[in-house]
Amino acid sequence: MFKRTQKFIAEYSYLVALSLCVLITASITFLLYNYTRDLLLQRLNERLMAVAATSAIQFDPEDIEYINNGGVSAVGSEIYTENVFKLQEIRNANSDIRYVYILSQTEDPNVVKFVVDADAASIIPSIDFNEDGIVDDDDVSVPGEEYDASEVPALQGPAFDSTTVDSDLTVDEWGSFLSGYSPIIKANGEVVGTLTIDVEVTDFLRIVGATFLPFLLFIFLLLLLITTLTLVIVRIWNAKVNVVRELDKQKDELLGLVSHQLATPVSSIKWYLEMLSDGDMGELNKDQKEHVEAMSRIGENMSDLVSMILDVSRIQLGRMKIEKQDLELNGFFDEILATIEPKAIEKKVEFIKRIPDSMPIAKLDRRYTNMTIENLLSNAVKYTPTGGKVVCEVKIVNNEISILVSDTGMGIPKAEQSKIFGRMYRASNARNAIDGNGFGLFVAKGAVEAQGGDIWFESEQNKGTKFFVRLPLK
């Protein structure tokens, strides 16, 4: 399932990236649009409140009270006409103001009354306010006419307390409006009405929307460009990585081929040297024997190196072949220790072995297991100075064999420990001090893991190292 998803993403990466790009653009634009709209609306609110407040003080509260008390009978009076003109003046001063009127409160908070309206003095009504299909005198509000305030929270109180604006826009067939209110208050603090100014914001919203479209397009194109560039870079990078991988593979193939071709002549040389040193071709004098034996040792090392290189290339190419066979563990360890102990003695390193007297028969690959343990032990001796100590401890627990090789040697620097199983990696403290090639641990790890086991270590520089190996017996 996971692999299929990965494949889908790889195959349709461009489409996935593009969809993400669209999604991100849409979200960013939505957020920015709302943020800007709110910011501009807030500015508009502030300006509307300022206009409402400065306009409200132009009205004489006594006049408003007079019209309010008079109702329809006040229409035609000088005071009424004067106030209608004042309202019209306010409206004419700003082209965005559509309606200006004064409302007063009733007993019912959901109902307010018209007191005077800028449209009231138009002799010819122009809008079918009451929606009866005819534009006539009934479309002009008259003092005392009730107005439903149930859906206008500001008119249910706040508009008569202080200058305020509606929190929401009013959207109807006449457009989108923002309403601002400022109370008209008598000297004794009695509120006689509130001046209401409806500002048309349809254009404002259209402009905000219109300026946003190019912005949205710009962000989209920018994201598209970045996405395309990123994908191109990723593709180029992948192509380069594939070339490097292919070269690496070719190198491993070559390494495998060369070491394979070298293996046969090297073992022939080794074999002939053995025959020579055994006297099969006539007795050798002391000097000759010594030299042949030295050559034999070199041949042995060369043969080990060649097979190690062959193993490295096999692991790299995933062609390591494990051949499990019955392994009599006690005899197997005796053989290994027989090659290591002389080295320890020669270097004057104390060698301690803790190996159970009787171990079961295990099913393991002889060559690889031997190579692993021998490499750990010879490393322990190699990287431990004269006078140090090497311990080899073997335990059989729960159908597993666990091997511990510990030493009191130079240790591995902390910063390099994560790389130590890498191919040809040699720690900085060993690199120039002691001979080696960095193949051993790489092959050991490959060999142990291929047999279902684990290999790990603990080390402290200048204190010593402990290598642990765990292998299933069957």
List of residues contacting ligand ADP (CB under 6 A):
375, 379-380, 383, 407, 409-412, 420, 426-427, 430, 436-442, 465
Residue 390's closest CA among 373, 401, 378? Answer: 378
Residue 154 vs 427, nearer CB to ligand ADP: 427
Contacts of residue 116, defined as CB under 8 A and 6 or more positions apart, other chains included, come to 64, 67, 80, 83, 84, 87, 101, 102, 143
Nearest distance, CB of residue 277 and ligand ADP, angstroms = 27
- Looking at the DSSP bridge assignments, the partners of residue 146 are 113
Residue 61 vs 409, nearer CB to ligand ADP: 409
d(CA 264, CA 268): 6
* Three-state DSSP class for residue 386: coil
Residue 193 vs 453, nearer CB to ligand ADP: 453
Residue 356 vs 413, nearer CB to ligand ADP: 413
Nearest distance, CB of residue 281 and ligand ADP, angstroms = 34
Residue 383's closest CA among 411, 343, 423? Answer: 411
Q: Are strands 389-397 and 350-354 parallel, antiparallel or unpaired?
A: parallel
Residue 394 vs 441, nearer CB to ligand ADP: 441
Nearest distance, CB of residue 443 and ligand ADP, angstroms = 8
Nearest distance, CB of residue 419 and ligand ADP, angstroms = 9
Task: Answer for the pair 270, 296: CB distance below 8 angstroms, yes or no.
Answer: yes
Residue 373's closest CA among 328, 323, 430, 440? Answer: 440
d(CA 170, CA 167): 10
Residue 359 vs 420, nearer CB to ligand ADP: 420
CB burial of residue 274 (10 Å; 0-12, 13-18, 19+): middle
Nearest distance, CB of residue 325 and ligand ADP, angstroms = 25
Residue 175's closest CA among 205, 200, 139? Answer: 200
Amino acid at 63: D
Nearest distance, CB of residue 24 and ligand ADP, angstroms = 48
Residue 381's closest CA among 414, 410, 418, 420? Answer: 410
The H or E element spanning position 52 is helix 13-56
Nearest distance, CB of residue 23 and ligand ADP, angstroms = 50
Residue 279 vs 387, nearer CB to ligand ADP: 387
Residue 63 vs 407, nearer CB to ligand ADP: 407
Nearest distance, CB of residue 378 and ligand ADP, angstroms = 8
- State the residue number with the nearest CB to ligand ADP: 436
Residue 63 vs 374, nearer CB to ligand ADP: 374
Contacts of residue 333, defined as CB under 8 A and 6 or more positions apart, other chains included, come to 355, 359, 373, 394
Task: Answer for the pair 104, 141: CB distance below 8 angstroms, yes or no.
Answer: no
Which residue's entry shows tokens 């006409």? 81
Nearest distance, CB of residue 313 and ligand ADP, angstroms = 15
Residue 70 vs 436, nearer CB to ligand ADP: 436
Nearest distance, CB of residue 422 and ligand ADP, angstroms = 9
Q: How many helices (H) and strands (E) does the chain have?
A: 11, 14
